A and B are shown apart, each in its own frame.
Chain A
Amino acid sequence: MTYIVKPTFHHPGLPKNALGYTHRDYEGSVSTLCAGCGHDSISAAIIQACFELNIEPHRVAKLSGIGCSSKTPTYFLGNSHGFNSVHGRMPSVLTGANLANCDLIYLGVSGDGDSASIGLGQFAHVVRRGVNMTYIVENNGVYGLTKGQFSATADRGSKSKRGAINSDSPIDLVSMALQLGATFVGRSFSGDKKQLVPLIKAALEHEGAAFLDVISPCIAFNNHPGSTKSFDYVREHNEAVNRLDFITGRAPIHVDYEPGTVEIVEQHDGTTIALRKLDAEYDVHDRRAAMNFLMERQAAGEVVTGLLYLETDGEDLHAHLGTVDKPLNALGERELCPGSAALEQFNARLR
């Protein structure tokens, strides 16, 4: 862990975004994770994504549970709202916060232990309810804080640092998210920011439950030969189905790629993304095909990455519940207690 404070001096030629901030303004305090941790790269990618999207820091709420990954919200967006909840319980806190104030951008940060073990139930329900959020799992396949036991996402047959072979079946959170109705599902790798940053940007812009599984090697306990979550293994077996080239706000899009190689996807909120296909056959809008594809590639030992599924006209929890547009926490006494006449009217409808 680093003892000095990161110097406030920055590069004189650092670009500023539309709000006048540099990416340094989106940082948090210096990481206390092990040197080289993949999670720190994901933090840097989140910083970059928020900088590029011109997000006002006070409009973001970052929520997490317990674990190495759940510590990371301290290390980015130092001027945003944060809630470090109980182990595996981030999804319900996030759901509650989202219900109370739909105006914020919700970023849930969790790990494989926090989401696939103790919090598996919570994970399932927050996804199936379609809470408008970005849910990032920083997935390293081990329990780092307790010195490297296999977690629930470790692949069967992979080897621990001390030589034990994992005999349990892995939980694939991407497949689960697809099955449970997430409207945006992607997978990426902490060592590939060119892929990761646009994915995070698209997820943050997506209205609905966006899930990102980010493989993030644990340098201390899971970066050795025999591990399937090491830098070398993921780099060798990475099978990207597409590249998110750019994401616009609500401006029209212009691309000059060869026909058939690029797909322009318009989402129902008006944002557009340009998707460069690496696998010509892969259809990002077909949930069942995506699941089949994943199963097949997984059996072949490949790690499929990219934007795996996108539903452009999905609905979120507020739409399901028919809440008012105004955030619930902003409603005043007049709206919440409309008086006995309104009560009479309401009761009449139930008779």
Chain B
Amino acid sequence: MKPTDLSTPQHFHKVVDCQWACPAHTPVPEYIRLIAAGRYGDAYMINWKSNVFPGILGRTCDRPCEPACRRGRVEKEPVAICRLKRVAADYKDDIRERLPKPVAKKNGKRVVCIGGGPASLTVARDLAPLGYDVVVLDQDPQAGGMMRTQIPKFRLPDSVLDEECGYVLDLGVRFVGGRRVDSMKALLAEGWDAIFVGCGAPRGRDLDIPGRKEAAKNIHIGIDWLSSVSFGHTTKIGKRVVVLGGGNTAMDCCRSSLRLGSEDVQVVVRSGFEEMKASPWEKEDAMHEGIPIHNYLVPKEFTHENGKLTGVVFEKVQAWRDDKGKRHLLPSGEPDRHFPCDDVLIAVGQENAFPWIERDIGIEFDQWGMPKVDAQTMRSTHPKIFFGGDAAFGPKNIIWAVAHGHEAAVSIDKFCNGEDIAERPAPAVEIVSQKMGIHEWSYDNDIAPDKRYRVPLRDKVVALRDIRAEVELGYDEALAFREAQRCLNCDAQTVFTSLLCIECDACVDICPMDCITFTQDGEEAELRTRLTAPARNLAQDLYVANGLKTGRMMVKDEDVCLHCGLCAERCPTGAWDMQKTFIEMTYAGSACRSKA
């Protein structure tokens, strides 16, 4: 097997599972340590730089970091990374002094962002401090996009949204609310240096089954209804509500209904409970509020009487897999079921819609009506027009929108400076030994055995009375400290120097996870089977080093390493050292350009 190449940050970046999994590559362990140290402001700033909306994401993120968290492979549950982010936002001091100031001297370049959601605001955040004149256009009066219109207030209060959107707009970004863009051609004619499209996936999918037209008055499209609730136009709903769909929007719809006076809310999904698109914690939150979820029911017909909806008829189906493993839903033969109700909310998906982009201006679309966008540069086939967020590749989530925004900002900055945008900047990497004394490290290497702490919730009766009352109360400082201590500090890397090793086996013997083996070289697949403990998780790399006196290889399975530093403590020659990697993406600005 080839020795691990440490000349690029790839190996060590992958070891920090959370950061690797995060689309924006937020340096998670670094800010968790700062939270444990009570340095909330510093923790917030690391987040702000990387993901722009720490307070918002700390409440609403889809948290791809958590399923990736190493703690989840060592014991049952990962570190509550998302909710710790919220702690940084909740307990920080006033950080406004630390934010960039609006620049006095502009660089003369004008950029317009269509849509005021997370992708556009990220582009604006990255470009405005560089002197760009950034204008954000949105159909709604306030910035925030779907974060404001689709996420219910009991999950994300306006105060948090206003604060964090405000930080971006205060950088000298001009926000024009209430302006709908009807023609890309017209916008192009305004002479912008670059146009960023971050208008989301604004169209909710409809359900064309019998009775849809006749009972239309009581059948609502989920995201439109949520938006209407959010702006206060809709304040009540029928006593009995059926929500169709199994995604996060459906969860928001059912929980909102419960708060607007519905007494009987049912969620009905086509597929099985396990296959629902909603995040497990969002399903849990809905069920905690007493909302039943029925599965394997396909809507067949809306029943109505005198133009008024009376219910929905469902066909009971069962899952069946064909030879190729593809799943089909087949009729189960059971009698149809009728769910009587007063209102139906349809939350069966969202679609992109670009009726306002003329097809003859140089933007190519694919067969599904989606613009052709380069996944790395975020540029369309038009040199000046960039896409990001849900508008680029269909509905994803906030953190992906932020990641797209950063990439688009880099592209725009390079483009406006006459550079090749296909050349992407490497991340900045710092690697520093954590050794303080013979057995002392500048991070807390002791492993806390604690199980994941639950986030305290507002009393259910109180929470259900007010649609604006935030359900999650967030960790208090004491709980936050204990949860933060569960982090394994995966960025404190085990770095091995063959030249110093005397092959005494001390590291092999002390390693609590049996990660380390000194053995003869071999092919990776075979090598994985004969390590001290078998390395069965193929998603995790082996760290391999040669150059030992006996000709053997040092092989370390990174999979379940606790980063406790015991290998380095028991190493008599310092061949093992704990070194902290700080990997930070390169954002728009001189660092991303080759001719800086």
Contact = CB atoms under 8 A, between A and B. Distances in A.
Interface of A: 1-14, 24, 30-31, 34-38, 40-41, 43-44, 190-191, 193, 217, 219-220, 223, 231-232, 235
B572 A43 contact: no
Interface in B34-60: none
Contacts of B549: 232, 235
B447 interface: yes
Given A36-B502, A44-B505, 9 more contacts: A3-B439, A6-B510, A7-B562, A11-B533, A13-B533, A35-B569, A40-B505, A41-B504, A235-B550
Interface string B509-520: 110111100000
Main SS class of interface, A: loop
Contacts of B504: 36-38, 41, 190-191, 217, 219, 231
Interface residues of B, number: 34
24 contacts: A3-B439, A4-B445, A4-B564, A6-B512, A7-B449, A7-B512, A9-B75, A10-B514, A11-B513, A13-B534, A14-B533, A35-B569, A35-B571, A36-B502, A36-B571, A38-B504, A41-B505, A43-B509, A193-B505, A219-B504, A220-B572, A231-B503, A235-B549, A235-B550
The 10 closest A-B pairs by CB, nearest first: A36-B572, A44-B509, A7-B447, A11-B533, A36-B504, A35-B572, A4-B446, A219-B572, A36-B506, A7-B512
B573 interface: yes
A31 B513 CA distance: 17
Nearest to A14: B533
B530 to A, nearest CB: 12
Interface in B421-447: 439, 445-447
B503 A10 contact: no
A191 B439 contact: no
B73 interface: yes
A9 B506 contact: no
B361 interface: no
Interface in B460-519: 502-506, 508-510, 512-515
A238 to B, nearest CB: 11
Given A2-B439, A10-B514, A12-B73, A231 B502 contact: yes
A40 B570 contact: yes
Contacts of B508: 44
Nearest to A41: B505
A5 B569 CA distance: 12
Contacts of A5: 446
Nearest to B571: A35
Contacts of B447: 4, 7, 9
Most buried by B among A11, A34, A43, A217: A11
A222 B502 CA distance: 13
B99 interface: no
A9 B570 contact: no
B513 A10 contact: yes
A196 to B, nearest CB: 10
Nearest to B513: A11
B308 interface: no
B434 to A, nearest CB: 14
